Amino acid sequence: MDEPRVVAPDEWLDARKALLAKEKELTRHRDEVNAARRRLPMVEITKDYAFVTPTGSASLPALFDGRSQLLIYHFMWRYDLNAGCPSCSFLADNIGHLSHLHARDTSLALVSRAPIADIERFKERMGWTVPWYSSLDSDFNYDFHVTIDPDVAPVEYNYRTQSELEADNVAWAGWTGEQPGTSAFLRHGERVFHTYSSYARGGDLLLGTYNWLDLTARGRQEDWEEPKGRSDAGFMEWLRHHDRYDQGGASPR
């Protein structure tokens, strides 16, 4: 990896001011995009979804935990590891203290298509306290396009059909399994509305570790290539569960 060239302080300051102008432009554009997101229309959720919690069954309105807004991270479950996906675990590690969200009348939960006993075991191993529920016995994952199975529902991911995904990357042909995503909901009494969902690199914004690394000279230190729709792109192969970095080998565990 090439390192920055060494220059005199005055030349560095000129370069830094030029970059600052671009950063300010990006901040203004992000504010505009955030405002446009808030203006999106919403769709009422009329299907009754049943989630499994550590204490029993719960409806989608119950996941709000008495608040008016709910964020759900669609957490990929890796059955081959009998554990959560390492990249989704990376995102979960970056979730801050939930009291700050609660102060803005917003709840946050993880949802996976996995048995609740396996979820609880892995959650304890990771030391997480964020609520995590099972959608195993509902259509929730399929309706929100984070479980890909053409035998159950038409393939769609990141608002693209199977033919569109395959045209961009033939690896999508015959692909089944879990994908990541984030969805936002608004509640009025018992009425629940879907306001937003993002997929693929939409989760990049939620990764504080990446944002810190982006401030350094070496950045993310990844052999980065634009992912072609698949969430298991090779640029994240360095990731491991946070309790597995002391183990050798390249495969995430």
Which tens digits make up the pLDDT trace of 24-39?
999 999 999 999 999 9
**Residue 172 maps to a domain:** yes
What pLDDT does 248 receive?
59
Q: Which tops the pLDDT comparison, 115 or 225?
A: 115
**Residue 248 maps to a domain:** no
Full residue range of the structural domain in which residue 172 is found: 42-236
**Residue 150 maps to a domain:** yes
Per-residue pLDDT reduced to its tens digit, 123-149: 999 999 999 999 998 999 999 999 999
List of residues 6+ apart from 223 with CB closer than 8 A: 234, 235
pTM: 0.91
**Residue 145 maps to a domain:** yes
Q: How many residues does the chain have?
A: 253
Rounded to an integer, the average pLDDT of 34-56 is 97
**Residue 178 maps to a domain:** yes
Contact 204, 180 (CB under 8 A): no
Tell whether the model's pLDDT for residue 224 goes beyond 90. no
The residue assigned the tokens 């609660």 is 102
Rounded to an integer, the average pLDDT of 198-206 is 94
Report the chain's mean pLDDT, rounded to a whole number: 91
Rounded to whole angstroms, the Cα distance separating 6 from 19 reads: 17
pLDDT band at 172 (very low <50, low <70, confident <90, very high): confident
Tell whether the model's pLDDT for residue 249 goes beyond 60. no
Q: 53: domain CATH number?
A: 3.40.30.10
**Residue 13 maps to a domain:** no
pLDDT band at 8 (very low <50, low <70, confident <90, very high): very high
pLDDT band at 236 (very low <50, low <70, confident <90, very high): confident
Rounded to an integer, the average pLDDT of 238-247 is 90
Q: What token pair was written down for 215? A: 């401030």
Tell whether the model's pLDDT for residue 167 goes beyond 50. yes
Neighbours of 178 (CB within 10 A): 23
Rounded to an integer, the average pLDDT of 94-123 is 98
Distances (CA, A) of 52 to 59, 120, 187: 9, 11, 20
Query: Nearest to residue 158, comparing CAs of 172, 137, 174, 170?
Result: 172
* DSSP H/E element including 223: none
Beta bridge partners of 194: 43, 185
What pLDDT does 70 receive?
98
Beta bridge partners of 43: 194
Rounded to an integer, the average pLDDT of 58-72 is 98
Total domains in the chain come to 1
Q: What token pair was written down for 44? A: 């009422």
Rounded to an integer, the average pLDDT of 155-174 is 86
Query: Nearest to residue 153, comparing CAs of 119, 118, 179, 133?
Result: 179
**Residue 16 maps to a domain:** no
